[in-house]
Amino acid sequence: MAKWIVDRYQLNPGCQVVDVGSNVGVLLQSFQNLGMQVLGVDPASEIAAQATAAGVPTLPIFFGSQTLGTIRQSSSPVNLLTGTNVFAHMADLDDFMLTASNLLDEQGLIVLEAPTLLELLTNLEYDTIYHEHLSYISIKPLVPFFQRHGFEIIDVVLLPIHGGTIRLVISRRGHRQVNRSVAEMIEREQQQKIYDLNFLADVAARVSSHGTELFDLLWSLKKAGKTIAAVSAPAKGNTLLNYCGLNSKLIDFVTEKSLRKIGRFTPGTHIPVGFGSAW
């Protein structure tokens, strides 16, 4: 991602990059390797300290207008603001844009990645709906949203990760050429009828049917004496478990590599994590 942005938009060494929700700083390390100045913003204090210790300066704060002064003190005028799997988690998107506008220089870019509503609906990925996702991103309604803040989407790229993710490139209005990918993505959304209530009702019916079929399949395997395990324990996996009623009577254990989860149980369905017949 870092190389794609730097190459596509010809960022010069020394440019200031700020990553929102930067976690342990993996993306920012890639920008550092390309000669950029970097700053992470992540409210998880332990993770922020870990990133800083690894050479990626990170502020243990939320990103928003209330922390704007602190971020400004820690960075030069920002040339690039990134956010991967964070934009859809924010409760106040207007405040995000206000803060971004005040940080970015005149030619600055915002690059966001988020799961796409288009793929969620067309591929029936209802297990990606969970408590952290406050928004489900599509392009058509974002056009007037960014315009209201003096920005515009200039490029859209569809990526396969997380069952379908969109990368949005945003700049101040009129400062850069708008790629035809933006109009093409909106046209695809409309062709798939994701804004049509009848289509959404059909998706709801398909979700219900899928949940029943999955439960019946696993129940038949369990009655046949099979041992059933779930691979990994991501937060959004619990949507599938709870919606379909897949509890510890059906699934014997969940595998997991994170020490923070091993020895615990899946919420709502109480399946043991990290131990079972495989241990």
Q: Which of 136, 185, 167, 174 is nearest to 152 (CA)?
A: 174
113 exposure class (CB count in 10 Å sphere: 0-12, 13-18, 19+): buried
What is the average pLDDT score of the chain?
A: 94
- The tens digit of pLDDT for each residue in 95-153 reads 999 999 999 999 999 999 999 999 999 999 999 898 888 999 999 999 999 999 999 99
Sheet holding 78-84, edge to edge: 58-59, 37-41, 16-20, 78-84, 104-115, 165-172, 151-159
Instruction: For tokens 């106040």, name the residue.
Output: 92
The answer to whether residue 277 scores a pLDDT higher than 80 is no
Cα 209 from chain centre: 27
- Kind and range of the H or E element at 156? strand 151-159
- The tens digit of pLDDT for each residue in 250-266 reads 999 999 988 889 999 99
CA distance linking residue 121 with residue 111, whole number of Å: 24
Residue 40 near residue 61 (C-beta atoms within 8 A) = no
- Coil vs helix vs strand at 134: coil
Q: Longest Cα pair distance anywhere in the chain, in angstroms?
A: 65
DSSP 174: T
The arithmetic mean of pLDDT across residues 196-209, rounded, is: 97
CA distance linking residue 222 with residue 217, whole number of Å: 9
216 exposure class (CB count in 10 Å sphere: 0-12, 13-18, 19+): exposed
- The tens digit of pLDDT for each residue in 4-45 reads 999 999 999 999 999 999 999 999 999 999 999 999 999 999
Residues 6+ apart with CB under 8 A from 128: 115, 120, 162, 163, 236, 239
The first and second tokens of residue 107, run together, are 């030619």
The answer to whether residue 241 scores a pLDDT higher than 60 is yes
Return the ∠ at Cα 81 (arms to 77 and 84), rounded to 5°: 160
Distances in whole angstroms, Cα of residue 165 to Cα of each of 49, 57, 76, 81, 266? 29, 27, 30, 18, 26
Return the ∠ at Cα 103 (arms to 131 and 171), rounded to 5°: 80
The pLDDT score that the predictor gives to residue 235 is 83
Residues 6+ apart with CB under 8 A from 148: none
The answer to whether residue 157 scores a pLDDT higher than 80 is yes
pLDDT band at residue 275 using 50, 70 and 90 as cut-offs: low
What type of residue is 186? I
CA distance linking residue 145 with residue 154, whole number of Å: 14
Residue 100 near residue 81 (C-beta atoms within 8 A) = yes
